[in-house]
Amino acid sequence: EIVLTQSPGTLSLSPGDRATLSCRASQTVSSNYLAWYQQKPGQAPRLLIFGASSRAAGIPDRFSGSGSMTDFTLTISRLEPDDFAVYYCQQYGSSPLISFGQGTRLESK
């Protein structure tokens, strides 16, 4: 069973800072089928990045994804107040077919 481990659990930064969120898989992610989602309180998740590095429609270019095989990163270049939320990574293709990381909470310092 593939396990996604996100770090850090909580990240405290200020608007304008650069945020770097990590997602490490216990085994190689099939074809880099790795996605990132943003979730705000009381809302459904929103797709940010798919295929490890492709931005979803309407996602600002301050969000970028990188990585391959077992190590993936979501970078937010200049934090805006609206970016403080919980972020999840998700893989497709292993067993279980789909799995999520435990999330990283990005909070305002």
Partner 1 sequence: QITLEESGPTLVKPTQTLTLTCTFSGFSFSNSAVGVGWSRQPPGKALEWLALIYWDDKKHYRPSLESRLTITKDTSKNQVVLTMTNMDPVDTATYYCAHNGGWFSRYSMDVWGHGTTVTVSS
Residue from 18, 102, 107, 108 binding partner 1 (CB under 8 A)? 102
CA neighbor of 34 nearest in space, from 87, 77, 86: 87
| Comparison of 17 and 53: residue with beta carbon closer to partner 1 | 53
Shortest distance, CB of residue 106 to partner 1, whole angstroms? 15
**99 forms part of the interface with partner 1 (CB under 8 A):** yes
Residue from 7, 69, 98, 108 binding partner 1 (CB under 8 A)? 98
- All residues at 6 or more sequence positions from 35 whose CB lies less than 8 Å from its CB, including other chains: 47, 48, 49, 50, 51, 89, 90, 91, 92
HSE, side-chain direction, 13 A CA sphere, residue 72: 34
> Using CB under 8 A, which of the segments 16-24, 39-47, 60-68, 70-78 binds partner 1?
39-47
